[in-house]
Amino acid sequence: MKVVQPIRDTRKLQVIKEHLQQTNERDYILLMVGINTGLRISDILPLRVGDVRGTHIDIIEKKTGKRKLIKINRALRAALDHYIVGKSDNAYLFRSRNRKLRTGARDEPITASMAYKMLSGVAQAFGVKEIGTHSMRKTFGYHFYQRERDISLLMDLFNHSEESVTLRYIGIKQDTLDEAIDRHSL
């Protein structure tokens, strides 16, 4: 399994956001939802327009089966308000433009592999490596931890049971180890 990292550099993250905002609004909103909620891609893709009209996103997580209530912050709210104008509450937020190959179904959400192709392609274009759809969740966690320094709150958001798991997941353990080795010169 490929290890993916958070996008640590806020300048690169901003450039990626601006690029997507200008080139593909759906993909921009996908990134914004991922980095502002910390949800897994499996919980993001099935979202419908009606799920994001209020102040919170209320879901049952696919992986854990637990209910999760995520506040929609100001940045995400502004992006969503523009994107959902005139859309039906039942429409998928990340609707595929293509028919499903096997079933011929229309109006389905994009697949996780399509989300991966989009995200990895744009990240690669801007020199970001070790990227995948999980990078959005990790980016949320990394920057949340950097601002709040509250590991227990982040553990609760991610449904992790140990601090070490959360720190390793968001890349803080590796950053700390790298910095310690840099300071340790013989």
Domain-embedded: residue 133: yes
Total domains in the fold of the chain: 1
Annotated active-site residue 137? The verdict is yes
Domain-embedded: residue 88: yes
When the pLDDT of each residue in the chain is averaged and rounded to a whole number, the result is 93
Annotated active-site residue 160? The verdict is yes
Given a contact cutoff of 8 angstroms between Cβ atoms, the answer to whether 39 and 47 are in contact is no
Annotated active-site residue 173? The verdict is no
Q: Rounded mean pLDDT of 130-153?
A: 96
Enclosing domain of residue 128? 10-183
Given a contact cutoff of 8 angstroms between Cβ atoms, the answer to whether 41 and 33 are in contact is no
Task: Look at residue 126 and give its three-state secondary structure.
Answer: coil
Domain-embedded: residue 67: yes
Of these residues, 68, 137, 138, 143, which one is catalytic?
A: 137
Annotated active-site residue 63? The verdict is yes
Q: Which amino acid is at 93?
A: L
Domain-embedded: residue 95: yes
Candidate from 26-35, 103-112, 175-184 with smallest mean pLDDT: 103-112
**Is 40 exposed, middle or buried, given 0-12, 13-18 or 19+ CB atoms closer than 10 A?**
buried
Domain-embedded: residue 117: yes
Given a contact cutoff of 8 angstroms between Cβ atoms, the answer to whether 89 and 53 are in contact is yes
Domain-embedded: residue 4: no
Of these residues, 63, 66, 129, 149, which one is catalytic?
A: 63
The two tokens of residue 159 are: 């449904």
Instruction: Give the residue among 34, 30, 47 at the shortest CA–CA distance from 7.
Output: 34
Q: Rounded mean pLDDT of 2-10?
A: 92
Q: Give residue 169's pLDDT.
A: 94
Annotated active-site residue 169? The verdict is yes
Annotated active-site residue 147? The verdict is no
Of these residues, 92, 142, 145, 169, which one is catalytic?
A: 169
The two tokens of residue 50 are: 């009606």
Domain of residue 135, CATH code: 1.10.443.10
Of these residues, 28, 68, 92, 134, which one is catalytic?
A: 134
Q: Is the pLDDT of residue 132 over 90?
A: yes
Task: Look at residue 85 and give its three-state secondary structure.
Answer: coil
Task: Look at residue 41 and give its three-state secondary structure.
Answer: helix
Q: Is the pLDDT of residue 106 over 80?
A: no
Say what percent of the chain tops pLDDT 70: 95
Q: How far apart are CA 127 and CA 81, in angstroms?
A: 30
The alpha-carbon radius of gyration of the chain (Å, integer) is 17
Q: How far apart are CA 94 and CA 39, in angstroms?
A: 15
Of these residues, 40, 68, 138, 143, which one is catalytic?
A: 40
Given a contact cutoff of 8 angstroms between Cβ atoms, the answer to whether 44 and 94 are in contact is yes
Domain-embedded: residue 3: no
Q: How far apart are CA 48 and CA 124, in angstroms?
A: 29
Q: Which amino acid is at 96?
A: S
Q: Give residue 174's pLDDT.
A: 84
Domain-embedded: residue 5: no
101 vs 111 pLDDT, higher one: 111
39-64 confidence digits (pLDDT tens)? 999 999 999 999 999 999 999 999 99
